[in-house]
Amino acid sequence: MVVPVNKNSDFIFHQETPPNGGPPLARLIEKFATPVQNFFLRTHGDIPEVNRSTFRLTIAGLVKRPCEFTLAELGERFPAKAIVATLQCAGNRRSSASAIKPVPNEVRWGNEAISNAGWKGCSLTDVLQFAGVDDQAKHVEFVGADRCSKEGTEVYFGGSIPLDRALQRDVLLAWEMNDRPLATEHGAPLRAIVPGYIGARSVKWLKEINLLIEPSKNLYHAHAYRLFPSDTSSASADWEHALELGELSVNSCICAIEEVPNGVLVKGYATAGGNRHVVRVDIGFGEPLKWREASFQDPPGPGIWRRWEVLIPKLLVGEIICARAWDSAANTQPEDPESVWNFKGYMNNAWHRVRFGMPWEDVKVAKPEIDYYL
């Protein structure tokens, strides 16, 4: 049965079954915490309806005490913990990567595969300490309850993070999002939240946690979310040795451009990966480019987006506006989108470029290297 999702009427679905989509960009940055009706949705299989009363989370693999918990037991046994974390898909901004060279068979995300929320649950660290992690264990695997079809087989969606990351206390087993029980489409009754990591590791409809020596062999870990050089094709890809994605990179996007009496107001979001935070966003405009520093609407925080805005002088139709962010480790975005192109279209964090006042169709035809998703 298809589970209905509660999204705003202007939510843009890139795919209906299973549902994948996000809000228009101007709406995306309306609030620091994205309301559930606007929160982007990334699903690989049909949305499962997990019965809250029969739900059990099992902890197995390399632990001294394999155990299982109901939702109530998780709440009673472990201290509640609340965090703010931004989720961002590794495929965010894929559409502008595919304007360089096609990225077949993947969801054509614009810049909206990202959202921010308050999450409440318990710390994974507490649960792992209760189960007692064996010395050999190096990775923590999450498995969801959704059956997905990949490479001709049916698998439960899953993936792992290094044990060191799992023990940093901020990785959450969350049952609330923005002070409400998790919505079905966002993982009810329980999901993992791994701040600063690609969204794929924040496994929804979480049913199993396994402690492993090696990273997960789940197809969504071993045969997806890996980064290949630009000259690798799907035919030549060596999945086993490819870079396994984990921490997100620094990124920024322009989400709204408004003409105001004294110039042009440009607004957007910026993110940093791992435990880094966004420290600066520069907005370039005109040809040759002149730069202006944006001011932030949100405080800095690890793995949390910062919305920004800046007033630039009046521009002529067709003039370039671009954004680049810097994080607390002095990383910045690459200028050239070609240098980060890969056949899966992951981790596109090149400068975001748009042309002032041009409808996206014109830009697409005239200048394929310019990102047209506004």
List residues binding ligand MTE (CB under 6 A).
39-44, 87, 89, 144, 146, 157, 186, 199-200, 202-205
Least gap, CB of 219 to ligand MTE (angstroms): 12
Q: What are the C-alpha distances in Å from 358 to residues 12, 241, 285, 299, 316?
A: 20, 42, 15, 32, 10
If the CB atoms of residues 21 and 337 are measured against ligand MTE, the closer one turns out to be 21
Least gap, CB of 109 to ligand MTE (angstroms): 9
Please state, in angstroms and rounded to a whole number, the distance separating the CA atoms of residues 251 and 101.
21
Cα angle 253, 191, 301; round to 5: 40
Least gap, CB of 88 to ligand MTE (angstroms): 7
Least gap, CB of 166 to ligand MTE (angstroms): 16
The first and second tokens of residue 144, run together, are 């969801």
5-14: buried (b, 16+ CB within 10 Å) or exposed (e) per residue? Answer: bebeeebbeb
If the CB atoms of residues 144 and 303 are measured against ligand MTE, the closer one turns out to be 144
- 204 neighbors 174 (Cβ within 8 angstroms): no
293-332: buried (b, 16+ CB within 10 Å) or exposed (e) per residue? Answer: ebeeebeebbbbbbbbbbebeebeeebbbbbbbbbbeebb
- In terms of Cβ atoms closer than 10 Å to its own Cβ (0-12, 13-18, 19+), residue 232 is middle
End-to-end CA distance of the chain: 34
If the CB atoms of residues 219 and 321 are measured against ligand MTE, the closer one turns out to be 219
If the CB atoms of residues 115 and 252 are measured against ligand MTE, the closer one turns out to be 115
Least gap, CB of 48 to ligand MTE (angstroms): 8
If the CB atoms of residues 43 and 348 are measured against ligand MTE, the closer one turns out to be 43
If the CB atoms of residues 117 and 122 are measured against ligand MTE, the closer one turns out to be 117
Least gap, CB of 38 to ligand MTE (angstroms): 11
